[in-house]
Structure 1
C-alpha cells in the first residue's frame, strides 16, 4: 500500500507536532507545508518539502491525499471549505470554528459534500477513554446517575506575559481548555442538554475568568458537576493523570472523572471500578466489589493520524465528525453564556 501524501497547514506549535507524527508514521508522508511565515519557510527547507503560502496555491500545483489544518481558529472554517471544494479530506484542529455561525456554515457544507472532514479532538482516540466507554456500554455501572469532573491546573505567569490576550475575555480556560473536557464527557455520558455555571476571576484579578463551577444535565437524565481552573495548584487534570503527554508530570493516584451509575462507579483514568455484586443486593451498607481494570496507554495523536489515514482510504468514518466538533462548541458557548446570565442555558441538539 502506497504512502498517503499529507500536507500540514500551519507550522506553529501544534502544526509541528502533526508534522512529527507524519514523519514517524509508516502510513503517510509529509507532502507540503502551507504557511506564509518565515519560520515555516525555514522548516520546509530543513525538511526538504515544498512550501506554499496558501491552500489555493497548494491545490493549484498538486493535490495531496489529505490536509491537516493546524492554523489559527478563525481560519479553520474558510480553509476547511477550501478543502471541500478541492475534494481533499481534511483534519480540522479544534475548536472547529471560532464562532457558532461559522461552525453551522461548515456543517451545512460538509453534509452537502461527500469529502470527509475529521475534527482534531485527539483525546477521543485515547485507549483509556475507549475502555471507559466500553465499561459504560456493557452496563457494568447500570444506568448513569451522576458524573464528577475536574480540570484543575496552574498556568505560570510567563504564559500570560507571552500572550497578554489571554488575560482578556475569550482567553480564559472556558474557551481555551474546557472544549477538551466537553468532548470527553459527551463521549462517555452522552449529550449535554442544559448547563448552569458560575465564574470567578478573584485569584488573578484578570478581566477573564480563572475558575469556573459548572452543572451539567445529560440527555439520559444524569447530572454532573465540573470544576475548571487554571489558577489551582492541583494535579487533577487529564494531562496530569492520563500519562498520555510526556510534557506534563504525572500522578497515577489521581482521577479527573468519577462516573456513577445505579450499580457502580468508574474512576477515570485510573480505571478503578467499584460495583455491587448483585442487582438485588444493593445498599449503602453493602461492600463493593473493587477492581483495578488494566490500562491500555498509547499516544492519541498517533492513533488520530492512523484513523485519518483510514478515513482518507475510505476504510472508516470520522470518529469525531463536524457535528461532534460543533456540538462541543455549542456546549462551551452555552457555559460561557450561563456564566454571564446566571441562568440555566439549554444546549441545542441536531
Structure 2
C-alpha cells in the first residue's frame, strides 16, 4: 500500500523527513530487515506529532534515525531546510526522552537536570534548573535524591532534563509506558500542556493510541515500516482511510456491501462501491428483547442505524458500564448494554443492537 502523502511544511520550518528507509543488515540465515520503508513526514515548529504503531512497526527505528542513533539506507532528514544526516548526535540540537530515563542515582535532582548544561556558568545552570522544575510541576525538588522519587516524579525529572538545554526538537520514545494506567493518563495530559506552553516541537512514539491522541496535534499510524496515514486525532477517528488503519484503531467489524445489506445498514455504503463500513468502539447499544429503546427489528432509529437481533457471547463491565459481547457478521463485538430496567442478560441470550451511524466510517478495503 502506498503511504499517505504527508502535508508539506515550509522548507525552512521544523523537521522534514523524505523517503527515509532504515535497513538492518542480514544476520545468520536471515535476510536484511527493512525497519523503516520510504517514510515522509513533517513536524512544523511548535507542533507535536505522535507515531503510533504496534511493536515492530518501525516507529522507534524512525525516531532513532532522526536522532542520529541509526544509520539510514536512503532518504533525507532536514531541520529548517538544512541536512542533519551528517551532523553528529550531540550537535543536532535534538533532545531525547526514553521509557527508561536512566537518572544518575549518585546525583540529586538538580544534578541530573544540570547534566546537559555543562557549558553554562553555574549560576545560570542553577536558574535554568529552577525554571524547568517549576515547568514540570516539581518546584523545590532540586536537592531531592532521585532514589526517593515516585515513578511519575522521576519521569518529570527526565522531562525537565530533556527540556533544560532548550532543544529545537524533542524526541520521546514510549516515555510513559512503564507507568500504571491512571498515572500514564494524567502525565499524558500534563505532558501536552508542558510541551505546548514551552512551544516545543516534538516527535512522540507510543503504542498506546489514547496517549497519542491526548499528547499530539497530529498522529501518524505505522505498520511494517510504512507510514499509513497522518492526520489530527479527530479526523483520524472520523476517517481512518483504510481497513488497516481502522483495524489498528479498534474499529470492527468491517462490513462489505453484502454484510451491511443483511444487517439493514447498506444505506451507509451507498455510493461507495468496493469500500467497507467500519464500526468504531461504542457504535453499538444493546437492548434486551422486549425492553424499551431499540424499536422493531430492522427499524431505523434516531441515530440512523437499524436494530438487529444477535446472540450474546459474553457479559462484563468496562469503564463502569455493563457491556456484552455479541456475534455480528461472524465477529465478536462489544456493545454497551442499555440500562432499560430489564432483567440482566446472559451469554446465549438474544438481544437487539442499535447502530449509531455517527460512530462508523467508510474505508478502503
Q: Per residue, is there more strand in 1 or in 2?
A: 2
Which TM-score applies when normalising by structure 1? Answer: 0.26
Which TM-score applies when normalising by structure 2? Answer: 0.25
> Which protein has the larger Cα radius of gyration, Structure 1 or Structure 2?
2
The structure with higher relative contact order (CA 8 Å, sep 6+) is 1
